[in-house]
Structure formats: structure tokens, C-alpha cells
A and B are shown apart, each in its own frame.
Chain A
């Protein structure tokens, strides 16, 4: 996904010389695609995320459209107050990019897992949150973020993800705040966001083999949320499974729950798949951690089978 982000920023930077890309000493073998072409639009501030974020605010005050870039917690939690006071309060044109959402950096350890970032970014007024599931959505949200003049958070996986969408329709029809169906069916419903959507897709395919046809929606935008879709589905289905590679406290599922709390009719309950208020102290690759923390396709299937009527 990071390469798809860089690809779009390169395209746009050709036309827009006010785009500035700032990194905190990250992006070896990824950002060279950008800085070799646009050396004057690139700054490496060193390993200094707080400085990066406030500097981005300053650049933006003078008319620049700025990207900041680091690993999950480093570009978000490490500099949270800078994002709040310097960027969001002033509604500045800064796009915060975090790599390695969830467990993308597997065995590197808990410092490199991003499982609280959505919660922290979501609570900030003026912030838009993008969480693409694949390269196609990554290209779409990057383009959309560049078109916007306000703060955005772009939460990415790592490199080498496969496309989940079958065609690039999402890219052509992308609207900020809209969810996109990956499959449609009457037997159940899954909402998912980010790279872990691949697990949800596997679950849907496996369940189809058993004769259950589920709808699966991908949410490349978490804030603003596609409230209309959430309400619609909440009135159709008995329960909705929500999948995220993040703490379920304060994350994507809790945004969905906020919408449900405003529905007076009988509506769906939520079955949440995500980190359950614990730290990722186990060691292993992404798949292993998803399995251990019960966030993989197998668990999604189990939850569906347990709750279906």
C-alpha cells in the first residue's frame, strides 16, 4: 500500500509544487521513488516525530500541502498533541500517514504495532480518517486526501498487499465517507476496514461454500462514517460482524455502535472482532498474531456460525 500512496503523490506532485513530503527517517527503498523526482518537495527531519508534525503545521500555514510519514504509533500517538493543537485546531492541510496498521510489522514487537491509532485520531475534530484495505483503495483515498484542504489520517498496511476489490471501480467512484460492497447476500453482514479485510473476504468465501451468502462492506473512510449504510444494514440484519485490526475500544466498531445508539427501531447488535483491551505481547508474524488474538477468518466464521439463527 505504501508504494501505491507514493505513486499517487508522485502523480499529483508533478502538477502541484506545493506538495511537501516530510518523513521522520523512514521509507528506505520506498520514498526514493518520490525524492529522486522531487528533491525540493522532500524533507527528512530525522527521527523526530514531534518536530515533524509541528513543522508540517508551519509549512501548511504558508500554503503547503504536507504529508507526514512514519510507522503507526510514531506518526500518531508520539505526536498526538502536536496533531491536536498545531494541525487540527487550525484545520490545516496536513495528511498524516501511518504505516503498518495493526500487526503488519508482526514479530518486530508491540512498539511497532498500531492498535490505538484510530481511537486517538478519531476523537480529534476536523480530522478525516482513511483506512484502505488494498492498493486500489489506497490510490483512491490518497487522491481524495490531496483534493481536501483539511487534516487527514491515512492508515496503511505495509507493502505487497494484493487487491481485494476485483476492479478499480472504487477508484473511479470514490466518495469520502462512503463504504463499498465487496459482496452482497441476505444471510449476514460484515463491516471491515483496512488490510484485515482480506480475512473477512476469506470468511465470506468459506461461508458461501457452506451455503451462507453474506454481505461484506469495506470502509475506506472511518470518519466521516457511512451512517446511511450502517443504518440500512442495522435494520435488515439481526447482527453485524465488525472487523478491525485495532482495539475494539474506541475504534471502528465503536463508531458503528455510536450510529446504532441513535436508531429507535429494533436493530442489529454488533459482534466485534479486534483487540480486546490488551497489548500484543505475543511474538509472531501478522497471520500468527491475528490467529492468536482471534481476529482471523476462522474466528469470523466461528462468530457467524455461533450467532446465526
Chain B
């Protein structure tokens, strides 16, 4: 499956998962799906039959509230049975709303409290270096999540230790829980800021698979960590969810569900 196809299928999966379970955060999931699809199709080294393979690349979803998207990708590429997705957020499931590693093959680390996963990823990158393991570490962070001081603490540290095996992708959808980033806490030019901390930076369209792929393949030929600021659209893929804060919270039911389903079908036929 190419990454476009995977992304579309995962959007459909996530719509079903959140519709069925009345969970939240569909906008946050749709925002990040293209990033995950490109990573899992073309970039990450993994083995679905041996999840703990020591040379695997490590991916940590620091914005754990988009867990539905990662679960769906992992099921689509064969880490576990797709039927597990039907249990998402339900009594007795393994798949909690925020990403959980407990008994879920392919999930590196549980998150949910913002500003943790990205720092854990730094620790993993450090250890891999010490172990002379060539695997790479990818952390996906929300732009609202960069409000946390811990994010900036780890940006300093990863530069200090020249963690060129470490990549942060900021899902820059310009929204957080109570409103637009600019209204809540202006983060300004993240590219310039993070570059000034010693990092390689790239700003791209984070819903465009070609741009994502090119960014992940960029070789900076230096010993610094890399941050990709991926400009995205929250709710990407369903017209009425795009850039609408409501869909950080609401679960699609009734005509909303039907319309969303329809729009995703149309995208499929257009291919």
C-alpha cells in the first residue's frame, strides 16, 4: 500500500473507531495521519513479527491523544489484527483513548500527559548512541504541546549531546485545546526558535506526502538533531472538521458521521 492509500484507509478506520466508541480527538488524529503514513510506509525500519527487534526505529507519539491514528496504522500494517480496532475505547479493550503500549505490539511507549514522550525519546536516542545502535528515534509533538517547558528542556539537551539520530516532528495545526495557538499562547516562528537552539530545521506542508518524504530524506551531514515543522490542518480530510476546534472534542454521529464517511469515500474514488 502506498502512503496515500494507507492514510485514507486509516482516516476511515479512525472515523469508525471514534464514531462507534464516542471517543474524542478526531481532529487531532486526522491532523497527524499523513505524517504517520509516510513514516511507516517509507522511512521507519520495523518488523511486525518481532516488534522488539533491536535495530527497529523508535517512534513515540508524544501527542498521545491522537492514539486512534497510531493504533489504526499499526493494525493496517500488520502489527495486530484489525478487528482489535473495533474495541477501541470500549470496556475490556487494550486500546485506551491515549496511546497505550500495554499488550499492544508496535506501540513503543504510553503517553497522554503532554510534554513527556518527547523527553523520553531523547533518552532513547542517547542510549542508542551509547549502545552504538544505528536505529533512529522519531517523536511526534503537537504544537500546543510545545507550551510545556519540558519540550524546550529536551531541545537544549538533544543539541548538547549531538543527537543526530533524533527527529522531532511538530504537528503544526495552529490549534490547541482552548483555541488557536495565536490566541492562547503565541509560539511564533518555531523554525527559527528551534534552529537557534542548534537544531536542523525544516518547515513543510505536513499533509503533503511528497514534502514529508523529502524532509525525512534530507541529509544535513552534521551531527545535530532535526526538527520538522509540519504545517498541518486539524481535522484534515473531512471538510467540516477542518480547522474546527469543536472536533477536538466531538464524536461524529448521525448526519455528521454519514457526511464524513461520504467525503472519505469520494476521496477514495477520486484516486
Min Cβ gap B66→A in Å is 13
Q: Which of A31, A44, A108, A288 contacts B184 (CB 8 A)?
A: A44
Q: Which residues of B contact A110 (CB under 8 A)?
A: 96, 100, 110, 112
Task: Tell me what chain B mostly uses at the interface: helix, strand, loop, or mixed.
Answer: loop
**Which residues, 1 to 54 on A, are CB-close (under 8 Å) to B?**
23, 25-29, 31, 44-48, 50-51
Report if B89 contacts A (CB, 8 A). Answer: yes
Give complex CA distance A74, B64 in Å.
15
A286 to B57, CA, bound (A): 36
For the complex, is A95 an interface residue (Cβ under 8 Å from B)? no
Q: How many A-B Cβ pairs are below 8 Å?
A: 99
Q: Is A285 an interface residue (CB 8 A)?
A: yes
Contact indicator per residue, chain A 259-291, by CB within 8 Å of chain B (1) or not (0): 000000000000000000000011111001000
Residues of the B chain whose Cβ atoms lie less than 8 Å from the Cβ of A78: 113
Interface membership of B267, Cβ < 8 A: no
B92 near A284 with CB under 8 A, answer: yes
Q: How many residues of chain B have a CB within 8 Å of chain A?
A: 36
Are B96 and A28 in touch, CB under 8 angstroms?
no
Contact, CB under 8 Å: B149 / A47:
no
Per the bound structure, the CA–CA distance linking A29 and B246 in Å amounts to: 10
List of A residues within 8 angstroms of B95 by Cβ: 283
B149 touches A48 (CB 8 A): yes
A283 in complex: contacting residue of B94, B115, B147, CB < 8 Å? B94
Shortest Cβ distance from residue B259 to the other chain A in the assembled complex, whole angstroms:
22
**B114 on the interface (CB 8 Å rule)?**
yes
Check B248 for interface membership: any CB of A closer than 8 A.
Answer: yes
Given contacts A44-B178, A109-B96, A111-B98, whether A288 and B91 have CB atoms under 8 Å apart is yes
- Assess whether A109 is in contact with B114, with CB atoms less than 8 Å apart: no
Decide yes or no: A109 and B100 within 8 Å by CB, A25-B144, A45-B185 being known contacts: yes
Contact residues of A: prevailing secondary structure: loop
Residues of B with C-beta under 8 A to A284: 90-93
Complex interface residues of chain A between 97 and 121 (CB less than 8 A to chain B): 107-112
In the complex, chain B residues 154-188 whose Cβ is within 8 Å of any chain A Cβ: 176-179, 184-185
Q: Are B178 and A109 in contact (CB under 8 A)?
A: no
Flag whether A138 is at the interface (Cβ < 8 A).
no
Q: In the assembled complex, which residues on chain A have CB atoms less than 8 Å from the CB atom of B135? A: none
Most chain B beta carbons < 10 A, residue from A27, A46, A285:
A46
B148, CB-defined interface residue at 8 Å: yes
CA distance A51 to B153 in the complex (A): 14
CA distance A93 to B138 in the complex (A): 42
In the complex formed, the residue of B with least CB distance to A111 is B112
Check if B251 is an interface residue, CB within 8 A of chain A.
no
Interface residue? B145 (CB, 8 A): yes
Residue B122 is within 8 A (CB to CB) of chain A in the complex: no
A95 to B149, CA, bound (A): 22
Q: List 12 A-B contacts (CB under 8 A).
A: A25-B147, A29-B249, A46-B176, A46-B185, A47-B144, A47-B147, A47-B185, A107-B89, A108-B98, A110-B96, A111-B64, A111-B110
A positions within 8 Å CB-CB of B: 23, 25-29, 31, 44-48, 50-51, 73-74, 78, 107-112, 281-285, 288
Q: Show the binding face of B for A, using Cβ within 8 Å.
A: 21, 23, 64, 67, 89-98, 100, 102, 110-115, 144-145, 147-149, 176-179, 184-185, 245, 248-249
Going nearest first, the 7 A-B pairs with the smallest beta carbon separation are: A111-B112, A46-B185, A109-B96, A46-B147, A284-B91, A108-B97, A47-B147
